[in-house]
Copies of this chain bind each other. A is one copy, B any other.
């Protein structure tokens, strides 16, 4: 029987590549997406397209009410998404505790499924400077998870896989290309429109476009600017 993995899937470039990597390692993939009050739902539509194209054992969308707290340009429409280029420091698009909440919900599902493997497409090279994308954070989460759960305490332990964490955006794209990922299905933009068209000027669009350029590959994204 194939081993089960829970794969966090936002519908962006990184998580689609992460799913392809988990599949290439012969995991039965249980994909988990979130409706947390983000600015647009184009990324949830993208996640569904990616699952359909690549295949998965199951795909669930969990709701949690993060928008009521606000405090981020991605969950509070009164805070503008910066478009002047990637700056030093943690930007206003940082969503407090988002990866921790998502990994915690993945942990719950993994435990119920009897899965000991969680995949997350975080990256600490070509990224926006979010603290919860760094290797030391992932290691600390894994350690905590093994103290938190029945699987960790009584079982053989849980592993958080972050296979993209030390890759450049170009390396991620080349890796995905090799594994057959159709990046035309994915949406990276922080403020995509309902059709999934990208703004072209937010940090996420800039990192994506630069990644395709550096990889020497055509970018299938439709940028509005």
Contacts and interface: CB of A to CB of B under 8 A. Distances in A.
Interface in A137-169: 137, 140-141, 143-145, 147-150, 152-154
B69 A108 contact: yes
A111 interface: yes
A109 interface: yes
A107 B148 CA distance: 16
Interface string A57-68: 000101111101
A71 interface: yes
A97 interface: yes
Interface in A148-196: 148-150, 152-154
A71 B94 CA distance: 32
Interface residues of A, number: 44
Nearest to A112: B71
Nearest to A150: B90
Given A100-B144, A141-B144, 7 more contacts: A71-B108, A90-B150, A90-B153, A97-B148, A97-B149, A101-B108, A140-B140
21 contacts: A63-B65, A66-B105, A66-B108, A69-B109, A89-B154, A94-B150, A96-B108, A96-B150, A97-B108, A97-B111, A97-B145, A97-B148, A99-B148, A101-B104, A101-B105, A104-B104, A131-B148, A131-B153, A137-B144, A137-B148, A140-B147
Interface of A: 60, 62-66, 68-71, 89-90, 94-101, 104-105, 107-109, 111-112, 131-132, 134, 136-137, 140-141, 143-145, 147-150, 152-154
